[in-house]
Amino acid sequence: MANYLTFIATIGGIYALLALSLNLAWGTVGLVNLGLVGFFAVGAYASAIVTAIGVPVVGGIVVAMLAGVVAGVIVTFATLRLRDDYLAIVTLGFAEVVRIVALNERWLTNGADGISGIVTPLRQTLGGRGFDLFYLGLVTLIVVIVWFALRRLDLSPYGRALKSVREDQELAAFAGKDVMRLKFEAFALSAAIAGLAGALYAHFQSYVSPDHFQPLITIYVFLAVTAGGVGRPIGAVFGAYAVVAFMEATRFLADLPFLEPVQVAAMREILIGLSLALILLLKPTGLLPEKTPKATVQP
Amino acid sequence: MLSAILQALLNGLMTGALIAIPAIGFSAIFAVLRYPSFAIAGYITIGAFAGWTLNVSFGLSMEVALVGAALVAALAAVATEQTIISRLRPSGALTAAIGSIAMNLVLENIVRFFYGNDLRGYDVPLVPDVRFWGLRVGMQQIETLIISIIVMAGVFLFLTRTRFGRAMRAVADNADLARLKGIDPRKVSFVAVALGGALAGLGGVLLGADTSIDPLTGFRILLTVFAAAVLGGLGSIPGAVVGALSIGIAEELSLLVLPATYRGAVGFVAILVILTFRPRGLLGERAL
Amino acid sequence: MTIKNTSISRRGVAKGAAVLAVATALGGGVAFAQDGPIKLGALVPLTGAGGPYGPIMAKTMQAVVDEVNEAGGVKGRKLELIVEDTQTNPEAAVRAARKLIEVDGVISISGTWASSVTTAVAPLAWQSGTFLTTTSGADSITQLPHEGYLIRTQPNTTLQGRKFGEFAIEEGAKSVYMVSPQTPFVDSQFENITKAVEAAGGTTELLVYDDKKPSYRSEVDTVMRADPDAIILGGYTPDTTVMLKDLYRAGYDGLKIGFGYSVNEKLLESVPADVVEGAMTISPSPNADSKAYARVGELSGMANPDPYTAQVYDQINLIILSLAASDAEPSGTMLKDTVRTVSQGDGETVDNAIDGIKLLSEGQAVNYDGASGPVDFDEKGDITDSRFRYDQVQDGKIVLLKIF
């Protein structure tokens, strides 16, 4: 049981990073990234590939973050000028393209087989249990660092500029903010964090494949950010741990003898969808609402 | 080579006609309610299963299946909209969009709960294609094309000739002005969602009759439907048709030069290219 | 988390108490610690791309476990099957597997289907000493450093590729076209088909398609331009359904050969009969006189159960027989050390766990021949037998042609 909790907490931490990434793009500057899982995948593959040719894990993580930024540039260069719903649809398409490329470019990604045997730092020295604990510590530490940095950013003048873009682009532009640039920078940073999460996942599980990166993960992270409170980093972190705990807890519904296993699985996903919808409906500010007073929102 | 290109064009036209129906549904919802509805995938799937139940379980004709599917999908769309999404729209288009993703997951799994994951096929005769000038075309494809054209014509007549249709366009073009003219936006939203759901449901049946259905039927073509709508211009109904045909043809033509596995990426690349050069899509964003 | 803990322990206590009561009533004097049910895990795709296969796999395994429990369990202990969903997604599957291993304490996990899921779950199995039985086909699976904790009932792709090629040649095909989605085994399979076909002077071509498309008209046009004598269908049921319809529409009247798991009863039900008439299928197979295959049909409710269902039936039977065959305390290690003593060898041939348990309790050795084949394993965990069954769709029914 303790092993299981360690594992779930580590996965929770990786989801927390994804939630922080989404919160930066969506909560702070108002850009919806429905292809989050694509950036997660890019980071995971990038680190897996470069560490396989001898780059140390720390280097792999840096490459993963850079790869996230590059992917962010590709996605945003045509869409940032447009209304935000275009970006939402384009990012969704991007995630699918990442999956297709990962599936077909065998020379780079080993195709449908995926990349197994990815370096797991210190596993040899620490043993399985020790490694799990070490990795939990590492991921948790990184979550705290990223959270702290994003909180600082939130409270800084730069953070306020980002939020002014979210509230009213025209007004922000009128006030002399370079809206395009702010959006671009926030999205790139957000993509880098998703890439970081990907690299951490790859070196934890030691295996990545195209099947890993399904759109459902993006939905889970949206649920996390919404539940925690859009616009507030601590909310995103809290929401991510809550969602992973919730997903795992729903497994224990499985003892309904009058239902087929497939019906239980369907019920779980219905529960996840309904909770997302209901939180949006009943508590749109999340459990830990953003503290800064909102400017009036145009309907 | 020429016949290969002509054949790909023909195939693209057929695929495009199939995608056009749900794409119009998506655009109708977007034009009036101003949010991209991901739940359209769920409406497609629900329509496909409703039509299947009528056609196979009850042994009724395809005409009945089409009408029944349209009604059931419209009902699902209205229910989804009234219970959840309409209350999210005041918080912004993106919140509504995310709500629609959540509801799509719910709808897909309601279908899974009752029908399981098994593949199901409609009870329609399948006939070999007709051949002419070295090309081939299927009777069923022609039927689908004719149904699509009838449906599209119906939608255009509805939008241009009926009071509700004109009200919808008025709201789509300028919601504030429409309100000043005394148009009740709630009624118009209701009609737009019902229309969008009905078209998605019809699309589901046509797709199901052509292939086979399972709970992922709608989700599998969601990206293509989006690509069609964005390509034509978000919220533009003629744009959805043009976008669907362009995507259909581009995907089929791409097979002549690209590996078939990259077909799914064609829509995405098309969107990026179009948005770079024509940011408001091929036909702009006016509803009609 | 708190709620979950209490509910589990409460349930565990209740079950423990029930078993204790039964044991006391029967006058059994076994130690308490050994009286709980032996926990076995099933990890199958209930949702996602594997959704068409997983539910029936889970149902069949559960039916076997129920039967054995009704017949008195294994050495007086009941079995409990805990089913989890992989979502056909390695990320979700690892979470599910961790729960099975670390919370439920299962000693085995059966039924992993997607190769990516098996590759992700396998390290957990060998690190925790859990026995993993899989239906995944990728060659790389059994090459993992699994220390014996993994067996698979799906023949590896080298063997299958050769069989497809040889069969096409036998049926008089000179040019063979393989159409397949991007799977982990498409390349190695095609390579082996090519070897077999070229050895007989034929030619081969390959088209890899996107498995999510509603129509393959242009793909079929490409194939038809090559005018092949035989088409080998490498996909799964959903995409193969679409492909077969489009081949029919295009007027293709040559040989069609598919996997038994793909051209299955569900596919037949979902398309008009003409579309699939005459199609041949190949699947790993037991001796013709084995009753196990028919038994899977009864348990699963399908006249022609597909190979995955037959395979998980065999997997769960082998696990139960191994439990009955060893005197050691049930564990994954005990299963991996014992499984080959019941799957192969000179023992009495049995085709179900209940008969096997009876023989084993009488001190006899058994050799299980199941529904998917004789299921004998080499040291890497691959099945060694090379018998396949060849079926053909005739008048809308899957008819056995031959087994060899």
Neighbouring chains of A at 3+ CB pairs under 8 Å are: B, C
Mean pLDDT of C51-77: 94
Same domain, C355 and C306: yes
Same domain, C73 and C27: yes
Q: What is the DSSP string of C202-230?
A: -EEEEEEE-TT-S--HHHHHHHHHT--SE
Report pLDDT digits (tens) over A191-241. Answer: 999 999 999 999 999 999 999 998 889 989 998 998 888 888 999 999 999
Burial class (CB in 10 A: 0-12, 13-18, 19+), A274: middle
Residue B155: inside a domain, yes or no?
A: yes
For chain B, the distance separating the N- and C-terminal CA atoms, rounded to the nearest angstrom, is 38
Quote the CA–CA distance of A92 and A216 in Å, as a whole number: 12
Helix (H) / strand (E) containing C68: helix C54-70
Burial annotation A240-273 (CB, 10 A radius, 16+ → b, else e) = bbbbbbbbbebbeebeeeeebbbbbbbbbbbbbb
Please answer whether residues B29 and C239 qualify as being in contact, where contact means their C-beta atoms are separated by less than 8 angstroms. no
Mean pLDDT of C105-129: 95
**Position C5 pLDDT exceeds 50:** no
Report pLDDT digits (tens) over A5-50. Answer: 999 999 999 999 999 999 999 988 888 899 999 999 999 999 999 9
Same domain, C240 and C188: yes
**At A299, is the pLDDT very low, low, confident or very high (cuts 50, 70, 90)?**
very low
Quote the CA–CA distance of C373 and C352 in Å, as a whole number: 13
Q: What is the CA radius of gyration of chain A?
A: 19
Locus of tokens 């439907």: B225
Other beta carbons less than 10 A from residue C297's beta carbon: 18
How many separate domains does chain C show?
Answer: 2
Mean pLDDT of C351-366: 94
Share of chain C above pLDDT 70, in %: 90
Quote the CA–CA distance of A149 and A151 in Å, as a whole number: 5
**At C35, is the pLDDT very low, low, confident or very high (cuts 50, 70, 90)?**
low
pTM of the model: 0.89
For residue A88 the two structure tokens come to 């939402």
Report pLDDT digits (tens) over C149-185. Answer: 999 999 887 788 888 999 999 999 999 999 999 888 8
Report pLDDT digits (tens) over C289-326. Answer: 678 888 998 898 888 888 899 999 999 999 999 999 99
DSSP state of C335: H
Give the residues across from B131 on adjacent strands.
B136
- Res C278: pLDDT: 93
Answer left, alpha or beta for residue C185, where phi above 0 means left and psi between -120 and 50 means alpha: alpha
- Res A287: pLDDT: 76
Helix (H) / strand (E) containing C398: strand C397-403
Asked if A263's CB is within 8 angstroms of B87's CB, the reply is no
Asked if B11's CB is within 8 angstroms of C217's CB, the reply is yes
- Res C34: pLDDT: 53
Residue B144: inside a domain, yes or no?
A: yes
Which of C151, C155, C158, C157 has the alpha carbon at shortest distance from C134?
A: C151
CB contacts of A299 in chain B (<8 Å) are: 90
Please answer whether residues B271 and A85 qualify as being in contact, where contact means their C-beta atoms are separated by less than 8 angstroms. no
Question: Which residue blocks in chain B are alpha helix, DSSP H?
Answer: 2-33, 40-52, 62-80, 86-88, 93-115, 139-161, 163-173, 175-180, 185-210, 217-232, 237-254, 263-277
Helix (H) / strand (E) containing C257: strand C255-259
Same domain, C26 and C121: yes
- Res C14: pLDDT: 43
Mean pLDDT of B260-288: 81
In angstroms, the separation between the Cα of residue A187 and the nearest Cα of chain B is 16
Question: Which residue blocks in C87-208 are alpha helix, DSSP H?
Answer: 90-98, 115-128, 157-170, 186-199
Other beta carbons less than 10 A from residue C307's beta carbon: 26
Q: What is the CA radius of gyration of chain C?
A: 22
CB contacts of C209 in chain B (<8 Å) are: 260-261, 263
Locus of tokens 């930024």: A69
CB contacts of A8 in chain C (<8 Å) are: 95, 98
Same domain, C173 and C232: yes
**At B28, is the pLDDT very low, low, confident or very high (cuts 50, 70, 90)?**
very high
- Res B176: pLDDT: 84
Residue B9: inside a domain, yes or no?
A: no
Contacts of A50 (CB under 8 A, 6+ apart): A59, A60, A63
Asked if B92's CB is within 8 angstroms of A270's CB, the reply is no
Asked if C91's CB is within 8 angstroms of A212's CB, the reply is yes
Sequence letter at residue A180: M
Asked if A116's CB is within 8 angstroms of C140's CB, the reply is yes
For residue C183 the two structure tokens come to 């799977």
Report pLDDT digits (tens) over A134-169. Answer: 999 999 999 999 999 999 998 999 999 998 888 888
- Res C122: pLDDT: 96
φ, ψ of residue A213 in degrees (nearest 5)? -105, 75
In angstroms, the separation between the Cα of residue C103 and the nearest Cα of chain A is 5
* Residues of chain A numbered 200-259 and touching chain B (CB < 8 Å): 216, 219, 222-223, 226
Chain B: residue nearest C214 by CA? B211
- Chain B residues whose C-beta is within 8 A of a chain C C-beta are 4, 7-8, 11, 14-15, 18, 109, 112, 116-121, 124-129, 131, 136, 138, 140, 207, 210-212, 214-216, 220-221, 252, 255-256, 259-264
Residue B287: inside a domain, yes or no?
A: no
Please report the number of interchain residue pairs, chain A to chain B, with beta-carbon separation below 8 angstroms: 130
Print the domain residue range for C186: 157-284+387-403
Residue B58: inside a domain, yes or no?
A: yes
Smallest Cβ distance to B102: which of A85, A260, A276? A276
Q: What angle do CA A114, A115, A116 make, to 5 degrees?
A: 115
Q: What is the CA radius of gyration of chain B?
A: 18
Quote the CA–CA distance of B29 and B171 in Å, as a whole number: 12
Q: Tell me how long chain C is.
A: 404
- Res A254: pLDDT: 56
Same domain, C151 and C24: yes
- The residues spanned by each domain of chain A are 2-213
Question: Which residue blocks in C237-331 are alpha helix, DSSP H?
Answer: 237-249, 265-270, 273-276, 292-300, 307-325
Quote the CA–CA distance of C239 and B260 in Å, as a whole number: 14
Give yes or no for A217 touching C (CB within 8 A): yes
Share of chain C above pLDDT 90, in %: 63
How many separate domains does chain B show?
Answer: 1
Quote the CA–CA distance of B105 and A223 in Å, as a whole number: 12
Same domain, C34 and C103: yes
Please answer whether residues B5 and B256 qualify as being in contact, where contact means their C-beta atoms are separated by less than 8 angstroms. yes
Print the domain residue range for B160: 20-218
Q: What is the DSSP string of chain A?
A: -HHHHHHHHHHHHHHHHHHHHHIIIIIIT----TTHHHHHHHHHHHHHHHHHTT--HHHHHHHHHHHHHHHHHHHHTTTTTS-HHHHHHHHHHHHHHHHHHHHH-HHHH-GGG-EES---TTHHHHHHHHHHHHHHHHHHHHHHHHHHHHHHHHHSHHHHHHHHHHH-HHHHHHTT--HHHHHHHHHHHHHHHHHHHHHHHHHHHSEE-GGG--HHHHHHHHHHHHHH-TT-HHHHHHHHHHHHHHHHHGGGG---TTS-HHHHHHHHHHHHHHHHHHHHHH-TT-SS---SPPPPPP-
Look up the CATH number of the domain holding residue C253. 3.40.50.2300
Residue C377: inside a domain, yes or no?
A: no
Burial class (CB in 10 A: 0-12, 13-18, 19+), B56: middle
Give the residues across from C152 on adjacent strands.
C134
Which of A184, A208, A174, A164 has the alpha carbon at shortest distance from A28?
A: A164
Alpha-carbon distances of A37 from A32, C87, C260, C339, rounded to whole Å: 13, 16, 34, 40
What's the gap between Cα A216 and its chain centre? Answer: 12
Mean pLDDT of B141-164: 90
Please answer whether residues C79 and C320 qualify as being in contact, where contact means their C-beta atoms are separated by less than 8 angstroms. yes
Same domain, C218 and C82: no
Same domain, C177 and C231: yes
CB contacts of A212 in chain C (<8 Å) are: 89-91, 116, 120
Same domain, C165 and C235: yes
Does the interface predicted TM-score (ipTM) exceed 0.85? Answer: yes
Alpha-carbon distances of A107 from A49, A100, A113, rounded to whole Å: 11, 14, 12
Which of C193, A97, C89, A38 has the alpha carbon at shortest distance from B261?
A: A97
Strand spans (E) along C10-103: 38-44, 79-85
- Res B125: pLDDT: 84
Quote the CA–CA distance of B121 and B104 in Å, as a whole number: 23
Quote the CA–CA distance of A85 and B51 in Å, as a whole number: 32
